[in-house]
Amino acid sequence: MSSKVSDKEDTFEGPSALKEELNKKIKEQKVVLDELSNLKKNRKVYIQQRNSNIFFLADRRQTLGSCKSKLMAVN
């Protein structure tokens, strides 16, 4: 019976692990936002299809807006 308890402890992620993951995602989003904000207006932007290696041409302003909204949602 004690082995079941130790199995659960091994797979449990504590609040600090979740907090670190959230901080990592926030930092990533801030970098993306900064990169998009500093692009020249004539530069092309591509977004990656979710769960795929396919990229599609995207509108820079629209992509910047969606990144800002994602960052606001995470905060």
DSSP 51: T
| Cα atoms in the Cβ-side hemisphere of radius 13 Å centred on 10 | 6
Q: How many residues does the chain have?
A: 75
Global pTM value: 0.66
List pLDDT tens digits, range 17-73.
889 998 998 999 999 999 999 999 899 999 999 899 999 999 999 999 998 998 888
CATH numbers and ranges of domains, the chain = 15-74 (1.10.287.370)
Higher pLDDT: 12 or 44? It is: 44
pLDDT score at 45: 95
CA 55 to chain centre: 17
